[in-house]
Structure formats: structure tokens, C-alpha cells
Structure 1
Amino acid sequence: MDPRTQLHARLGTLDAEDAAGAHAQATVELDQQAVGRLSRMDALQNQAMAQAQARMRNAERQRIHAALKRLDDDEYGYCTDCGEPVEAKRLMADPTIPRCLDCTRG
């Protein structure tokens, strides 16, 4: 599968995950009929985890868009730091990788 197809497929997956997790990120309402404060604490914890997952998906979405821009600019597969080719195995493992292994290591 070519990188562009792979990146667009991942964007679709992220959108589906966002839609599925939207309810979990909503404001936690105080429900007097529920068991009590432990239920509210659980709901708040679940909300915090859902929000953290949404932030991680947004960060991945940004990496995907950056990789798509590199594809459009014919710079995909080249290190954004040194300009040398990024190792094929790295790109196969994660097509959003912007840097070669040497530059990543520092």
C-alpha cells in the first residue's frame, strides 16, 4: 500500500475513533440518582482518559497532515533535518516519520 493511501486510511480511522469517543468526552453531569461520589469520580476519570486519547489522536492527525504535505512537496522519505533518505523500514513501520535514525538519535 502506498503511503498516501495508508495515511488517508489512518485519518479515516481517527475520525471514526473521535466519533465513537465523543460521548465519553462530554461534561460530566451530577446525577443525584446515581450511587454517589464514587460514580461521579469514575465518570470524571473516564472523561479525562477520553480527552487524553482525543489529544493523542489530534497529535497523530497533525503528523499525518505533515507527511501528506511532504508527499505533495516531493519531500516525503527525506529527513527534515539533514535531507538524507529516511530508512524504508522506518517509513513502513510509521509513514509519518519525518527524520532519519541518525537525526532522531541526535
Structure 2
Amino acid sequence: MADGLSKTQLAALKNLLVKRQSELKALDDEGANWRGTVELDQQSVGRLSRMDALQQQEMAQAEARRRTSDLARIDIALKRIAEDEYGWCAECGEPIAYKRLEIDPAAALCVNCAR
């Protein structure tokens, strides 16, 4: 545990990580329909054009990639908590400021190393 990071702060940050993880998984489940194959229904009235549908599909896929990346960062942060390495910069080994972790609880680098 980093200097100055209390057990209460650590528990609060872990709760933020777990909550965000659940939210991202729920969003990923909801977005599955938008990422599927685009089919043009010639019989549908008021349908989106194929280009619009392809654009929506691509946006949904990009959002899914971002969520996958965010979930991986959260998994790593939760693993670091379990191994009592959370709150220390993965690059230089210095403590990560609590304010930075409040903003991004999955942060693995201090402000200086993140630049």
C-alpha cells in the first residue's frame, strides 16, 4: 500500500474499480447487437441506409475495443490490490498520488511517468 493511502481509501478505490467493471460488462452486453453483421432489409420502411448501419456498427466495435482495454486495466489494478502492489508506480516505483487514483483508479503510473 502506498504511503498515505489508508485502508479506507484503498477500499473506496477498490469499490470504484469493481463498480466500473460491472458497468463496462453491462454496456458490453447491451452493445452486442450493434456489433453484429449488417444486413440490408429491402422490405423495411424507414430503415437506415446501409452506410449508416455500417457506421453505427463501426462505432459500436470501437466502443467495445475501448471497453475491453478499460476492463483489462481494471483487472490489472484489482490484481495489484490483491498482491499489495496497488498505489505504486509500475515504472519508477514511487507512490501514486491518491488524487490521481481517485480520478483514475486503474492508473498504474504516477503523473511524472505518465507524461
TM-score between the two structures when normalised by the length of structure 1? 0.91
Gaps of at least 5 residues in structure 2 are 1-10
Match of 2:58 among 33, 48, 53: 48
Once superposed, which parts of structure 1, at least 4 consecutive aligned residues long, lie more than 4 Å away? none
Q: Which amino acid aligns with 1:104?
A: A
TM-score normalised by length of structure 2: 0.84
The separation in 2 between residues aligned to 1:16 and 1:86, in whole angstroms, is 29
Where 1:41 maps in the other structure, the secondary structure is: helix
Q: How many positions carry a matched residue from both structures?
A: 105
| Whole-angstrom distance in 2 between the partners of 1:39 and 1:103 | 46
Say whether 1:81 aligns with 2:91: yes
CA RMSD of aligned residues (A): 1.8
In the alignment, structure 1 segments of 5+ residues that lack a partner are none
Aligned sequence identity (%): 52
Deviations 1:73-103 (A, max 9, x none): 1010000011110011100101001011111
- The equivalent position to 2:68 in structure 1, one of 42, 58, 71, is 58
